[in-house]
Structure 1
Amino acid sequence: MSTEARHPVIVYIHGESFEWNSGNPYDGSVLASYADLVVVTLNYRLGILGFLNANPAPHLKARVANYGLMDQIAALHWIQQNIALFGGDPTNVTLAGHGSGAACINFLMISPTVMPGLFHRTILLSGSALASWALVEDPVNYAVKLAREVNCSIPEDVGKDHESIVDCLRQVPLVHLLQADITPPAYLSAFGPSVDGVVIKADFAKELVTYFKPQDLQNFVGSSVNSNMKRSEASLTPRGSNPYDLLFGVVTSEALWRFSNNDITAGFEGERRDKIIRTYVRNAYTYHLSEIFFTVVNEYTDWERTVQHPINTRDAVVAALSDAQFVAPLVQTGDLLSARPPQPGQEQRGPKTFFYVFDYQTKEGDYPQRMGTVHGEELPYIFGAPLVDGFSHFPKNYTRAELALSESFIIYVANFARTG
């Protein structure tokens, strides 16, 4: 390829989980050829190898723990140095990620370890740093559990001697580490991004909220129910505007994949609804659990119905979990990153922000029709699977309308990557 050509670059950060998956199944060739882009996918360390953090005081003694995020930063440096040889434009790089991949990008947007110019635009698909599953609140707890599972001795004072845990774990064969059963509470992550004082600062939430004007910020922090936000004890001084153009979006049934086939086909009664919502609230929040639980149930109950049908109850719980885990944190992130303090005597200018809702359900997909669009169901349309009758793990058969939908979605994404 001629080195004179300069095409916009999209770097895709895979999601699904902080514990497993790969960039390899996401073939970018259809998207690249149809939209005249350079598409990069990458792998990064996951699980214990990517995110183990045994440091109980990162605010006092910073030490890198987010190796998975460091891998992504290293890949971005490589792209800056080499992508021109592949026809890519190093001055026009868009980061796109889905789910946990989007949360990773969100952390990179506010990380002090990311140099300006490594990327220029961001696409957050169904994921945000403010989601309950995005940040591991107590990573030392899981590091200690892992050490016990593989028979490492635990120091009496983990705070003073946490490095001995890491030293011992380094001597354990990888297969034993991966076989250790470390299960987090439902809706949370055991090994994922955490505050290490280097890649993610203790006051990372401040980096998001400082795009508000001071009076708006006071109101926002006072009213926010997001636990990560509430725990930020940051000063409320605007620092400047978010430098990245932002495209973010959700699908209509983000949390549907969490439910069993029986739940999906038959629905369930109010008792199971209460158990699911109580579990989420207990694991995702610290204070006012009872008030939050009753508020959620009240908000997601159709009080005009005299009898609550199991199907309606199921739909309400899917909507509640979808909003809590995906929609609300991402919309909140979009609000924060698009709010800019006005400059004295100047028009309010800066990066552009766009929000979409993808509400189409694939005819030959994995879920019954009229269930709503499932988490990840937009990905085949972005990668152009309908244009080649499917590839990888995406569905294989598409209608003519679905082919047209994929073309439209690709054009929107390509336009954003090209010009914002």
Structure 2
Amino acid sequence: MKFTPKYFMVPNTADIFRNSIHINGKVTRELLHRIILLSGSGLSPWALQRDPLFVKRRVAEHTGCHGDLLKDDMAPCLRLTQLNQLLSVSVDPPRFLPGFAPFIDGTILLNPTTPPPATNSPTVATSAGYELADFPERDLLFTLTSTESYLDLSAQDLEFGFNETRRDRILRTYVRNSYYYHLNEIFSTLKNEYTDWEKPVQNPLSVRDATLEVLSDGHTAAPLIRIGYLHALRGGKTFFLHFLHQSGERDFPQVRKHMYIRK
């Protein structure tokens, strides 16, 4: 993988900044020349709506556009609904999961219908997510910031930090809503790997920093890097950008200060 400014300087081509779930759609597949993924991919737990019928039911209840949830198209009714009523619809999804989001509809977004290709590459190259990196003929630039989870915590938590009990509640909620199996094992592993065991006493700010790291890695960094890795294994030109700068004027705390470039 590599990064070069020339990536942005190719004339007569079209780039797309978005989530990777749309890249291999039937409509968009042949229209794109290069892909830029910014802080997210189709493998992130917040990228896809797992229960679209739940969202459709909530919208129907709020707007009065009732009908068969499986068969009826709500669009004609929604077009006649007042804008302020549409904007006031609240889905209230589980924490760390999306409300209004794309879903596998069988038309624009398809479930993979073929098994992973036979290869001598490591197992990761043919496991879950391989179909989202199936565009080796197009260049990919994926980019991250050092912390991708500021919006997951409240302003008070970001400013003052919190204790290990609150951290455990946050991590248990994240694991329960993001995974299906081996929840206790995943929670224990995250807690162990993201605890600084060299410090016998954890202060609230260090607990906050570790929690930000595990959430950033879990729902954004690891899925995005996986897409880049799978794309590179398929022979695609893959570029990576890590945005380090953090402004001195901000409403959130400095985390891992040595990693940022100051003005």
- In the other structure, the counterpart of 2:205 is 311
**Which amino acid letter does the alignment assign opposite residue 232 of structure 2?**
S
**Aligned match for 1:94, one of 12, 15, 21:** 15
The answer to whether the aligner puts 1:355 opposite 2:259 as a matched pair is: no
**Aligned match for 1:148, one of 61, 86, 91:** 61
Q: Indicate how the Cα distance of structure 1 residues 115 and 173 shifts in structure 2: closer, same or farther if over 3 A, else same.
A: same
Alignment root-mean-square deviation, CA: 3.3
Q: Indicate how the Cα distance of structure 1 residues 244 and 170 shifts in structure 2: closer, same or farther if over 3 A, else same.
A: same
The answer to whether the aligner puts 1:113 opposite 2:18 as a matched pair is: no
**Which amino acid letter does the alignment assign opposite residue 239 of structure 2?**
F
Task: Tell me the TM-score normalized by structure 2.
Answer: 0.83
Structure 2: unaligned runs, 5 residues or longer: 1-5
Q: Indicate how the Cα distance of structure 1 residues 336 and 9 shifts in structure 2: closer, same or farther if over 3 A, else same.
A: closer
**Which amino acid letter does the alignment assign opposite residue 93 of structure 1?**
A
SS at match of 1:214: coil
Q: Whose Rg is larger?
A: 1
- In the other structure, the counterpart of 1:389 is none
- C-alpha distance after superposition, 1:274-309 (max 9, x if no partner): 111111111111222222111111111112221121
Map 1:154-173 onto structure 2 (within 5 A). Answer: 154-155=67-68, 158-159=69-70, 161-163=71-73, 165-173=74-82
Task: Quote the offset at 1:213 in angstroms.
Answer: 4.9
The answer to whether the aligner puts 1:367 opposite 2:252 as a matched pair is: yes
- C-alpha distance after superposition, 1:352-396 (max 9, x if no partner): 2122322222223343445559xxx99xxxxxxxxxxxxxxxxxx
**Which amino acid letter does the alignment assign opposite residue 131 of structure 1?**
S
The answer to whether the aligner puts 1:133 opposite 2:46 as a matched pair is: yes
**Aligned match for 1:243, one of 132, 137, 141:** 137
Task: Quote the offset at 1:170 in angstroms.
Answer: 4.0
Map 1:331-350 onto structure 2 (within 5 A). Answer: 331-340=225-234, 350=235
**Which amino acid letter does the alignment assign opposite residue 220 of structure 1?**
V
Task: Tell me the TM-score normalized by structure 1.
Answer: 0.54
- C-alpha distance after superposition, 1:61-83 (max 9, x if no partner): xxxxxxxxxxxxxxxxxxxxxxx
Q: Indicate how the Cα distance of structure 1 residues 153 and 108 shifts in structure 2: closer, same or farther if over 3 A, else same.
A: closer
- Report the Cα distance in structure 2 between the residues aligned to 1:276 and 1:240, rounded to whole angstroms: 34
- In the other structure, the counterpart of 1:123 is 36
- C-alpha distance after superposition, 1:242-282 (max 9, x if no partner): 11111212111111233223212221111110111111111
User: Would you tell me which structure has more helix in proportion to its own residues?
Assistant: 1
Task: Quote the offset at 1:195 in angstroms.
Answer: 0.9
- In the other structure, the counterpart of 2:187 is 293
Q: Indicate how the Cα distance of structure 1 residues 298 and 199 shifts in structure 2: closer, same or farther if over 3 A, else same.
A: same
Q: Indicate how the Cα distance of structure 1 residues 168 and 120 shifts in structure 2: closer, same or farther if over 3 A, else same.
A: closer
**Aligned match for 1:190, one of 99, 105, 108:** 99
- Report the Cα distance in structure 2 between the residues aligned to 1:315 and 1:9, rounded to whole angstroms: 33
**Aligned match for 1:261, one of 137, 155, 180:** 155
- C-alpha distance after superposition, 1:29-81 (max 9, x if no partner): xxxxxxxx6xxxxxxxxxxxxxxxxxxxxxxxxxxxxxxxxxxxxxxxxxxxx
Q: 1 or 2 for the larger relative contact order (CA 8 Å, sep ≥6)?
A: 2
**Which amino acid letter does the alignment assign opposite residue 188 of structure 2?**
F
State whether residues 136 and 237 of structure 2, in contact with CA within 8 Å, keep that contact through their aligned partners in structure 1: no
**Which amino acid letter does the alignment assign opposite residue 278 of structure 1?**
R
For these two proteins, the number of residue pairs brought into alignment is 257
